[in-house]
A and B are shown apart, each in its own frame.
Chain A
Amino acid sequence: MSQAASEAGTASLLERAKGLLRRRGILIVLVLLAWIALGAVLKGVNTLALPTSENTPFTSVLREAAASIRGNRTESPAFVYFFNPIRAFVESFIELIRAVISLPSGDDIIPAVGWLGVVAIIGFVVFATSTWRTSLLAMGMLLLCGVLGMWTFTMDTLAMTLGAVVLSLAIGLPLGVWAGLSDRVLAFLRPGLDLAQILPTLVYLAPLALFFLIGTAAATIATMIYSIPIAIRITSHAIRSLNAGPIEAATSMGSTRWQLLTKVQLPMAKRTIALGVNQTMMAALSFVVIAALIGAPGLGKPVVEALIIRDVGDGVVAGLAVVFLAIMLDRATTAAVVRTGNFVHESGSARIRRRVGLGAAFTGAMVAVVLSRYELWAAVFPEQLIIGESVSSATSAAAEWITTNLYFLTTGFREVVTVGFLNPLESLLSNTPWYVTIIAISLIGALIGGRKAAAIALVLLGLIVLTGLWNDTMVTLAQVLIATVIVMLVGVVVGVLVGRSPRVERIMKPVLDAGQTLPAFVYLVPVLALFGPTRFAAIACGFFYAAPIVVRVVADGVRDVPSSMVEAATAAGSTKMQIITKVQLPASKRSLMLGANQGLIFVLAVVVIGGFVGAGGLGYLVIVGQSKPELQGKSLAAGLAILLLGVVLDRMAQAGAERRREQGSA
């Protein structure tokens, strides 16, 4: 074929593809217009709206089931031989740790080890696993928690987190190794692992509280269910991504499978597995805070209480303690990861110096522990040092000042988004007859992601109708969509900046790191202070929670665009804007789709928590069921609806991404 002919062929192909895209765009607009028109005509018809206090047949069935489960706790064999023993074991394990650092032990009025002892032990452990610098930071962070007056709460959260992490790793690491070695095991676990990635945290709570009673055990088990998949995923990945060369060599030298695992694969994977421990720990901390909703002791409690009475100052104090604890755990484990990967020969004198340092630190820690058992000032955090109340009142005053003086900024922005975008979208989704909405969404799904996406949307949305919570789901969906659009707009702009400029990246990295380690719950407090108990507060919270991951994914995508492409475009005389819009963004389309998918899932996870601060929707139903037994059925149904909504959003985004990829390669 001559070159001209082939060029003509390519051009006509391009034309056709463009035409197809344009046609698809027009079709989507047409569907939207039809949806809006039908919505206007049939407004308020068949919306399936349901007052909070009312049950549907389905939620009634769930409520009856829940009641019978509750009634059977002492008799049913499933409880006597399965749930109750697990609960007893987990609870006693956590109480054991709490007895050491947070609960009064035995006849004493103080825990076995006082604050000084705990700070010293943690300082020693961090020093032994990483560096003295990190150790100082860790001790500083703990002391700050004490200074905020949150010592006992912090210790409870620490005990819960450590306990849950130990139990999670005890299950997750072996399973992860197994899944890393065996394709069959991985294939068996994969659906569960995938589901766990998109399951919003709030969904775990109600069912677990039902089976394990509200309290420490249910909270710990819920935390484990959240963090075990992370441990499995990263461990399995660690084993699978190993360089094959050394493994083949070790096999050729006659290793047994066990020798191969213990002498070659595990040592080589150690660093990634340590990273998995870090991730597991951060996930557990984040969940333990939220699990205050089902009775977990610790810092989540004052946060929840502050949210209920809308006391911004107290909420911020507790939230800060969570932040400090998160920084401590993250830094300590990250530093340990760095050390783990260090295969460099240590000189003799350095080793001796380190041994001496460790010995001294250990002695110091032991002295501190003994002191904290016999001296009151070392046992109970000294009142004189606590400034929690002044921080609280100062924060409240600041929040007050912002809401009165910067009214136009906070409330103004809120109203623009709420009136301009949220209300019309929510009305379209929830005030249109349900069948119209389902058909419209499925059609859009078909246009974006193909027949399969449409079928999934149709079936799962139909199931949501069956739960009886269609209307609440649409309220939540409206918030999720608005928050995702905002997070994508900001995320792409910031992500491009971060991806293009190493300087911006340096500035943003600590922010992104911090953002990714903070528990979602913490964002609620300041957002509540700024925007009040509204739907917009939930949207803002979702935005803050999802922004770091979206920025990171987009930045990675932009950075991974081959520099030769950018060079060629520059050589062809493109402006900076043209390079961004015509080269870097199109070339990182996959990352953008991935970012949108992650953004959706993260936003959903937090927006439903926003139900707690007046955003309504499914999240509110989940939470309200915790305190009202007659609504427990609805709470469970709401959890199910959140799950279904998450799967719909995830599948549609994935299908869209896949379809783009196919078109890109065709």
Chain B
Amino acid sequence: MTASVLAPAEGDVAQNSAISVRSLWKVFGPKADTVAGSPAADLSRSELLATTGCVAAVRDVSFDVAPGEVFVVMGLSGSGKSTLVRCLTRLIEPTSGSVLLAGEDVLKASPARLRELRRTSFSMVFQHFGLLPHRKVIDNIAYSLEVNGVKRDARYRRANEVIELVGLDGYANHYPEQLSGGMQQRVGLARALAVDPQVMFLDEPFSALDPLIRRDMQAEVIRLHRDLGKTMVFITHDLSEAMKLGDRIAIMRDGAVVQMGTPEELVANPADDYVTDFIRDIPKSHVLTVRAIARPLRPEEDSTGPEIDVTTIIRAATPVIIGAGSPVKVMEAGALVGVVTSDDVLRLIGTDGGDSQ
């Protein structure tokens, strides 16, 4: 469990990753390229600014994303998460490091190759949608195909497919400003899906939307991910969104990743006070599995209770636990891990909401 907290080691490039990022740096300021690898790299944000006049927006970030995984990068504003995702697609040119997309280093790609990658291999969804106001929905969606030289008939056929996929039927000939924010971001999603990319980058795609619409769109992303199985790198500042969508989450602060792991790992073992503070308001019972509260059976207890799987989320297991008259047995591959009673669940819920432990 602790292994995933640490970043992967240098040189250890996972061949089967969809994306593999190593020692990525983005430094703004004079002689930005000399910071990484020098003693200055270990300085704090303010010390670095004072001694070199530089700001490290992304510092020494490494991670791997498995094919089909939803990888969430989360952090407060100014933590470098938006810069990071732009470095991965070279909308911002990173200072140093490597970004391997299916084994190919994106940072070494020529301008022509980079354009080709952008047109075919990865796509991006933006916080403020970034739709072209002078183009109809269908021409917005078909833009990547158009700049890639796909013929009109073929690109409209493909655009119509994704229009249906994201639920925009009937809006093909509207202009973006005629649509609501939620509908506009559906266009943004459709546009990113149109090229059938290997990886999708979503930069706070729902932050500009109302809470209710945001929930709908999150469900939409979950559905699309289930149906299409795209690899996604999802940027957000909203922890509950991160928990809801992310297979794994990387938490950033001052440009560096402070912890990386599954939602359960983060909640169970926050790496430092910063992360603890972050997860304070997350109800543990919504994230942790019954493994976290399983304990050995006491001799005086009844051992005939029902069985549940060890990976069940506590909240989902609660009805069973309350309903059972005796301790519920937590099973992993047929073996008993421990037992859980409603008292154990209550004790956990009692520590939620802040000043616990």
Q: Which residues of A contact B (CB under 8 A)?
A: 245-246, 248-256, 259, 263-264, 267-268, 270, 343-345
Contact = CB atoms under 8 A, between A and B. Distances in A.
Given A248-B91, A263-B147, A254 B175 contact: no
10 contacts: A248-B130, A249-B129, A250-B130, A250-B147, A253-B143, A253-B144, A253-B195, A256-B115, A268-B133, A344-B178
Contact of B174 (A250, A268, A345): A345
Interface of B: 89, 91, 114-120, 123-124, 126, 128-136, 143-144, 146-148, 173-178, 191, 195
B131 A343 contact: no
A245 B91 contact: no
B175 A344 contact: yes
Most A C-beta atoms less than 10 A away, residue of B91, B120, B134, B177: B134
A302 B123 CA distance: 65
A345 B143 contact: no
Nearest to B125: A249
Nearest to B195: A253
Contact of B91 (A251, A259, A264): A251
Contact of B115 (A248, A254, A263, A268): A254
Given A245-B128, A248-B126, A253 B133 contact: no
A264 B140 CA distance: 11
A270 B124 CA distance: 26
Contact of B132 (A250, A256, A270): A250
A604 B8 CA distance: 71
A349 to B, nearest CB: 15
A253 B114 CA distance: 10
B119 A343 contact: no
A252 B135 CA distance: 17
Given A263-B147, A344-B175, A345-B178, A252 B123 contact: yes
A635 to B, nearest CB: 50
B91 A252 contact: yes
B181 to A, nearest CB: 13
Contacts of B132: 246, 249-250, 263-264, 267-268
A245 B128 CA distance: 7
Contacts of B120: 254
A263 to B, nearest CB: 7
Given A245-B128, A245-B129, 16 more contacts: A245-B130, A249-B129, A249-B132, A250-B132, A250-B147, A252-B89, A252-B118, A253-B123, A254-B115, A254-B117, A254-B118, A254-B144, A256-B147, A263-B147, A267-B135, A345-B136
Contacts of B134: 267-268, 270, 343
A273 to B, nearest CB: 13
B124 A249 contact: yes
Contacts of B91: 248, 251-252
B133 A343 contact: yes
A254 B147 contact: yes
Contacts of A344: 175, 177-178
Contacts of B195: 253
Most B C-beta atoms less than 10 A away, residue of A246, A251, A252, A344: A252
Nearest to A247: B130
A264 B115 CA distance: 16
Contacts of B191: 249, 253
B148 A254 contact: yes
Q: Return the 6 tightest CB-CB contacts between A and B, nearest first.
A: A249-B130, A254-B118, A254-B119, A245-B130, A253-B144, A254-B115
A343 B143 CA distance: 17
Contacts of B143: 250, 253, 263
B116 A254 contact: yes
Given A268-B132, A345-B173, A249 B147 contact: no
A596 to B, nearest CB: 38
A268 B147 CA distance: 17
Contacts of B89: 252
Contacts of A259: 147
Nearest to A269: B134
B294 to A, nearest CB: 46
A248 B85 CA distance: 13
Nearest to A267: B134
Contacts of B123: 252-253
B178 A253 contact: no
Contacts of A249: 124, 126, 129-132, 191
Contacts of B146: 263
Nearest to A244: B130
Contacts of B117: 254
B183 to A, nearest CB: 14
A245 B204 CA distance: 13
Nearest to B174: A345
A589 B48 CA distance: 41
Nearest to A255: B147
Contacts of B177: 343-344
A250 B119 CA distance: 10
A343 B134 CA distance: 6
Nearest to B177: A343
Most A C-beta atoms less than 10 A away, residue of B115, B129, B177, B191: B115
A8 to B, nearest CB: 33
A270 B132 CA distance: 13
A343 to B, nearest CB: 4
Contacts of A268: 132-134
A351 to B, nearest CB: 12
Most A C-beta atoms less than 10 A away, residue of B116, B126, B143, B177: B143
Nearest to B114: A254
B159 to A, nearest CB: 13
Contacts of B115: 254-256
A344 B134 CA distance: 9
A245 B205 CA distance: 13
A567 to B, nearest CB: 29
A270 B178 CA distance: 19
Nearest to B126: A249
A264 B119 CA distance: 16
A246 B136 contact: no
A460 to B, nearest CB: 38
A191 to B, nearest CB: 28
Contacts of A245: 126, 128-130
Nearest to B129: A245
A253 B144 CA distance: 5
Nearest to B92: A248
Contacts of B116: 254
B128 A253 contact: no
A498 B16 CA distance: 69
A267 B176 CA distance: 14
A343 B175 contact: yes
A345 B126 CA distance: 24
A252 B124 contact: yes
Contacts of A343: 133-134, 175-177
Nearest to B117: A254
A185 B218 CA distance: 45
Contacts of A251: 91, 118
B44 to A, nearest CB: 29
Nearest to B124: A252
Nearest to A245: B130
A268 B136 CA distance: 13
Contacts of B135: 267
Nearest to A342: B175
B106 to A, nearest CB: 13
